[in-house]
């Protein structure tokens, strides 16, 4: 199992029956593949679909049915399509239960940076600002470290997406919950020790109940 699959499988466990869930571009789109068959979740994409599903199989691609990243997707029976204005009305109106977003950095205050890297050409923030602000619950699904170091830092060096604190960070090493007191390490991945997570993290961590340093 590769690191991204570990993350996607763990995030899938956070979803509940009936949830309306937005999946961000990249790693978060993998979450839909790991839902239990008994769980009924309505996946949303900000380009205008509710009821999105993974592509049924090769050859089912339709250029008119894609996610926000331009990747072909499927649709569940009863799915609906709408324009971008309606889609962002759902987001900004607080009608999404969960958004799962990738991250470049999350800091000790739980603030997410996920839209810009200085010196790289970018199209703009897209819907990330709206999703972090409008969804009832924000889960960040990302690798714990980049080539240059930890992605969980004391203070973001990259432009932040929103001043709102995210609700949960899931990496291939750990599950971390931002709180008023700081970042609480709630869970380590199978085979990973608390010390390994601490060593891989630039921000201070509070060791949660049931874990020992």
Active-site residues, by number, are 46
Map residue 38 onto helix, strand or coil.
Answer: coil
Q: Residue 159 in contact with residue 78, Cβ under 8 Å? A: no
Nearest C-alpha neighbor of 19 from the set 5, 2, 32: 32
Whole-number Cα distances in Å, 141 to 44, 73, 191: 17, 20, 19
What is the spatial distance between Cα 87 and Cα 27, in angstroms, rounded to a whole number?
21
Instruction: Go through 116-147 and write b for each residue having 16 or more CB atoms within 10 A of its CB, e for each that does not.
Output: beeeeeeeeebbbbbbbbbbebbbbbbebbee
User: Which of 85, 118, 88 is CA-nearest to residue 104?
Assistant: 118
User: What 3-state class would DSSP assign to 177?
Assistant: strand
């Amino acid at each position: 199992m590769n690191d991204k699959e570990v993350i996607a499988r763990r995030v899938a466990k956070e979803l509940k029956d009936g949830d309306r869930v937005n999946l961000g571009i990249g790693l978060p789109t993998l979450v839909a593949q790991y839902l239990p068959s008994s769980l009924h979740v309505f996946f949303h994409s900000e380009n205008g679909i509710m009821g999105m599903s993974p592509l049924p199989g090769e050859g089912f691609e339709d250029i008119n049915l894609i996610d926000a990243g331009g990747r072909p997707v499927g649709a569940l029976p009863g799915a609906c399509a709408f324009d971008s204005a309606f889609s962002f009305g759902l987001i900004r109106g607080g009608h999404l239960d969960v958004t799962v977003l990738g991250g470049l950095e999350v800091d000790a205050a739980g603030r997410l940076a996920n839209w810009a890297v200085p010196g790289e050409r970018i199209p703009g923030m897209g819907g990330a600002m709206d999703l972090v602000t409008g969804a009832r619950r924000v889960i960040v699904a990302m690798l714990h470290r980049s080539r240059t170091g930890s992605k969980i830092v004391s203070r973001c060096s990259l432009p932040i997406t929103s001043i709102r604190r995210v609700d949960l960070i899931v990496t291939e090493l750990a599950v971390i919950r931002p709180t008023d007191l700081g970042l609480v390490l709630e869970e380590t991945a199978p085979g990973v020790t608390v010390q390994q997570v601490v060593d891989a993290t630039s921000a201070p961590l509070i060791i949660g109940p049931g874990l020992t340093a």
